[in-house]
């Protein structure tokens, strides 16, 4: 299952980042962006995440998936459109210089901690 290996790599990214930041507290939410072109099914990713997170510091965290539509742009006629699959040629002019504007995204964009540990040495207010 493709989503399972994606979930595992997302989790290891988050765990590394938490360690680097010396973050404490339970992770309540993990935010990820999933581009249409990434081939990842958000619902399957959520299930895989729950399985892969079991036993780790992310167990029970909610995976919040932001889906990014596949948007293509034609350099020849300057047309930009939402596609369901990556076309190699422009639907409008047949131009072959079509670039992917968005839809390749796949990664962690943020984490919500349930309780934020106070940062030492910083006055409040
Ligand atoms: Zn075109």
Q: How far is the CA of 85 from the centre of ligand 1 (A)?
A: 16
- Compute the distance from residue 81 Cα to the ligand 1 centre, in Å: 10
Q: Are 98 and 89 in contact (CB under 8 A)?
A: yes
CA distances from 18 to 6, 25, 113 (A): 18, 10, 10
Ligand 1 centroid from CA 105, angstroms: 24
Distance 87 CA to ligand 1 centre (A): 11
**Would the pLDDT of 121 be above 70?**
no
Find the range with the poorest average confidence among 6-10, 56-60, 113-117. Answer: 113-117
pTM of the model as a whole: 0.80
User: How many alpha carbons lie under 13 Å from residue 18 in its C-beta half-sphere?
Assistant: 24
Are 23 and 117 in contact, with CB atoms under 8 Å apart? Answer: yes
Q: What is the pLDDT of residues 20-56, one digit of tens each?
A: 999 888 899 999 999 999 999 999 999 999 999 999 9
C-alpha of residue 35 to centroid of ligand 1, in Å? 23
Q: Ligand 1 centre and the CA of 76: distance in Å?
A: 5
Question: 108 with 31: CB under 8 angstroms?
Answer: yes
User: Once rounded to an integer, what is the mean pLDDT over residues 98-117?
Assistant: 89
Cβ(89)–Cβ(96) under 8 Å? yes
Concatenate the DSSP letters of all residues of 93-105 into one string: T--S-EEEEES--
């Amino acid at each position: 299952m493709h989503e399972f290996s994606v979930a595992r790599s997302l989790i290891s990214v988050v765990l590394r980042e938490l360690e680097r930041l010396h973050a404490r507290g339970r992770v309540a939410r993990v935010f990820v962006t999933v581009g249409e072109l990434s081939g990842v099914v958000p619902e399957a990713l959520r299930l895989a995440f729950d399985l892969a997170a079991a036993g780790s510091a992310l167990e029970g965290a909610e995976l919040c998936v932001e889906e990014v539509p596949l948007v293509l742009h034609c350099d020849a006629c300057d047309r930009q459109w939402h596609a369901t699959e990556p076309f190699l040629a422009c639907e409008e002019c047949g131009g072959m210089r079509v670039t992917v504007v968005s839809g390749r995204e796949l990664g962690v964009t943020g984490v919500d901690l349930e309780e934020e540990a106070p940062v030492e040495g910083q006055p409040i207010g």
